[in-house]
Amino acid sequence: MIKATSTSTTRYTTQRIGFGLLTAMTLFTVLPILAVVIYILVLGTPAINGEFISGFPREGMRAGGIWPAIVGTFYLTLGTAIFAVPLGIGAAIYLSEYAPENRWTRLIRIAIINLAGIPSVVYGLFGLGLFVLFLQFGTSILAGSLTLSIMTLPVIISTTEEALRAVPQAFRTVSISLGATKWQTIRRIVLPQALPGTLTGVILGLERAAGETAPILFTVAAFFLPRLPASPLDATMALPYHLFVISTQVPGMPVKIQYGTALVLLAFVLGMNFIATTIRSRARARRQW
């Protein structure tokens, strides 16, 4: 490369232009995200105060707080976790530790990919058809949580499976050779090692559940309820639906409250995202194998 020929100069010019283009594209992808987050942060922060967080909506939701929506989203997320976490981790364990390489297992994988791809509003239809109408749960936290948990399953399964597979085979061999049963090996050796990855998957799945609106439209969401839900069979307000309602349905809604609600929802979701990514990168840094 000492004698730079003219062709190599053009080659490097192409490279420089190409790299510049890719950098620009990446910036175009990433900067709007930052802009959105910062924009909502700036316009939403003035709305945040004690009453906004812990109060009930007043004056046709144009004043007061969003506490019932926060509580509703919390319950829904929790309900989703109760159903989706055991099932998701179970499925991941099956796929990584038990499943033989046969046609059925391939079918399971295709099914998971499909679950991940089904439009969220179709989950809403399904929840309406099965839980609300057929099983007669009514529009309730139970129906909504079940719908959301099926939607989050694929995320939890695939991340957990990845984490389980990353645990070296030698760990299992040693444990089994010391006389432990397969389940003992999984529970005492494999699962603890895969815990950070599993947690990341669970949180990312729940994050999606917390932020979704379409699946809860027909299964849980209430426009306005002057009280907190009293049982899993109650309908509830929820943050994403509340934001949809106040940004499209209520006349003369103060912009401040809209941005405030957007900020709380964003904080809820991004907070979970942050926890998930932190757990993952910490675990990567600490991994001994």
Site residues for other proteins, window 72-101 (CB under 8 A)?
Answer: 75, 78-79, 81-82, 85-91, 93-95, 97-99
Q: How far is the CB of 53 from other proteins (least distance, A)?
A: 18
Closer by beta carbon to other proteins, 53 or else 267 = 267
Q: How far is the CB of 190 from other proteins (least distance, A)?
A: 12
Is residue 30 close enough to count as binding other proteins by CB under 8 A? yes
Q: How far is the CB of 223 from other proteins (least distance, A)?
A: 4
- Please give the backbone phi and psi of residue 58, each rounded to the nearest 5 degrees, phi first: -130, 170
User: Exactly one of 109, 165, 172, 256 binds other proteins (CB under 8 A); which one?
Assistant: 109
Is residue 225 close enough to count as binding other proteins by CB under 8 A? yes
3-state secondary structure 93-124: HHHHHHCCCCHHHHHHHHHHHHHHHCCHHHHH
User: Exactly one of 208, 220, 260, 279 binds other proteins (CB under 8 A); which one?
Assistant: 208
How far is it, in rounded angstroms, from Cα 260 to Cα 69? 13
Closer by beta carbon to other proteins, 52 or else 243 = 243
x/- contact string, 144-183, with other proteins (CB under 8 A)? ------x--xx--x-----------------------xxx
Q: How far is the CB of 131 from other proteins (least distance, A)?
A: 10
Is residue 285 close enough to count as binding other proteins by CB under 8 A? no
Is residue 231 close enough to count as binding other proteins by CB under 8 A? yes
Cβ–Cβ under 8 Å, residues 192 and 104 = no
Q: How far is the CB of 287 from other proteins (least distance, A)?
A: 16
Closer by beta carbon to other proteins, 33 or else 170 = 33
The string of DSSP letters for 25-66 reads HHHHHHHHHHHHHHHHHHHHGGG-SHHHHHSPEETTTTEE--
Task: Give, as one character, the DSSP assignment of residue 74.
Answer: H
How far is it, in rounded angstroms, from Cα 85 to Cα 157? 9
Nearest residue to 242 (alpha-carbon basis) of 77, 116, 67: 67
Cβ–Cβ under 8 Å, residues 96 and 172 = no
Closer by beta carbon to other proteins, 54 or else 249 = 249
- Please give the backbone phi and psi of residue 63, each rounded to the nearest 5 degrees, phi first: -145, 180
Contact region with other proteins (CB under 8 A), list: 47-55, 168-176, 190-198: 190-198
- Residues binding other proteins: what is the number (CB under 8 A)? 124
Rounded to 10 deg, the angle between the 255-286 and 6-44 helix axes is: 130
Is residue 226 close enough to count as binding other proteins by CB under 8 A? yes
Is residue 59 close enough to count as binding other proteins by CB under 8 A? yes
Residue 252 gets the label, from left (phi > 0), alpha (psi -120 to 50) or beta, of left
Contact region with other proteins (CB under 8 A), list: 45-53, 168-176, 262-270: 262-270
Q: How far is the CB of 201 from other proteins (least distance, A)?
A: 13
The b-or-e profile of 203-218 (16+ CB within 10 A means b, else e) is bbbbbbbbbbbbbbbb
Classify burial at 48, counting beta carbons within 10 Å of its beta carbon; exposed 0-12, middle 13-18, buried 19 or more. middle
Q: How far is the CB of 225 from other proteins (least distance, A)?
A: 6
Would you give the distance in Å from CA 131 to the centre of its chain?
22
Q: How far is the CB of 188 from other proteins (least distance, A)?
A: 7
